[in-house]
Amino acid sequence: MDKAAASCSKPCGIVAKVREAMAERLVGKAEMVDAILTAVMSDGHLLLEGVPGLAKTLAVRTFAAAAGLSYKRIQFTPDLLPGDVTGTLFYDAASGGFVPRQGPVFANIVLADEINRAPAKVQSALLEAMEERQVTMGDRSLPLPSPFFVLATQNPIEHEGTFRLPEAQLDRFMLKVVVGYPDEAEELDVMLRYADPETAIRAAIPRQAAAAIQAVDVAALRTAAASVRMEPDVAKYAVAIVRATRPGHEARDVPQQLRELARYIEYGASPRGSIALYRASKAAALLGGRDYVLPDDVKRSALAVLRHRIIPSYEAEADRVGSDAIVKGILSAVPVP
């Protein structure tokens, strides 16, 4: 066994256990499973977008059960209040003072289900928790459990009764994954597996299953991902991709394709995007069984990291050019080391 394989043996074994546990209830969805693992290993948050019925909620609940972590679900609705998310202060007659009553955000894994069905004021209640890992009530700052991850689901913006997430909150999500429909073979498997109502109900309650790993294994994954090597030329490649999302390419050495794409970009990714791509690329390498990052790991991670950080221009909307197409164009234009 070579040195690279030896250094990856333990974390790769943990990843294999999680994938196996999730495969018991999920059909396909390998990209979504790896995105959850990437977010957890990188100490980030994940946004899953797709129409109802694509197992987004089931995937999050199954992972929480497989990882043996505390889990709370918040169903976002138009009448939800910020205190319903973070908690409130209530008067305690015995002590004669106000005592914090913790909300559902106090858990290792928080599922923000259909997050874009609540107005911006409620969505913003998660900002402090996601960025600072704490919640402020009155003059008290209460720390959240460690580890802490927000895994949110949302319906496409075009659906009636949804609200667009604020850019500041979108930027707090390390990754955004668009969940598509299963292929024909997968859908046939889903139909045959869950046609019986009792089977479907059991699948919807993953907490009945034993944990495949423990909290200490999650910590080991995070440590292993942080120790993955990224050579300077690969790191420069990641930065070049992020910088290409920002309009205003005037230098002569910038490829013509990037100059043409710049007119479709109103605002690009901030340095937080560079940090997210750096961490996600390391996690992708570990998921691939390596302790070093390849340029392909950066390319595979870029779409999920950058698609929600790019704001298309009016010209892009007129030409029906979305952020996914912009990121793919950038990846094809930036030279690979």
Which residue range is the domain that position 167 belongs to?
3-224
Q: Where are the alpha helices (DSSP H) in the chain?
A: 3-23, 30-41, 56-67, 82-86, 120-123, 127-132, 167-170, 184-194, 197-203, 215-226, 232-243, 256-262, 271-287, 295-306, 314-318, 323-333
Q: Tens digit of pLDDT for each residue in 271-298?
A: 999 999 999 999 999 999 998 999 999 9
Same domain, 218 and 77: yes
Same domain, 52 and 180: yes
Model confidence at 27, in pLDDT bands (50, 70, 90)?
Answer: confident
Same domain, 81 and 125: yes
Model confidence at 251, in pLDDT bands (50, 70, 90)?
Answer: low
Same domain, 289 and 180: no
Same domain, 9 and 138: yes
Angle between helices 30-41 and 3-23 (to 10 degrees): 120
% the chain with pLDDT above 70: 90
Structural contact between residues 156 and 52, judged by C-beta atoms closer than 8 angstroms: no
- Number of domains present in the structure of the chain: 2
Same domain, 267 and 308: yes
pLDDT at 165: 81
Same domain, 158 and 259: no
- The enclosing domain of 128 has a CATH number of 3.40.50.300
Same domain, 17 and 152: yes
Same domain, 209 and 237: no
Structure tokens at 215: 């909290």
| pLDDT, averaged across the chain | 85
Same domain, 295 and 262: yes
Q: Tens digit of pLDDT for each residue in 92-123?
A: 777 777 788 888 999 999 999 888 888 878 87
Count of CB atoms situated within 10 Å of the CB of 1: 7
Same domain, 13 and 89: yes
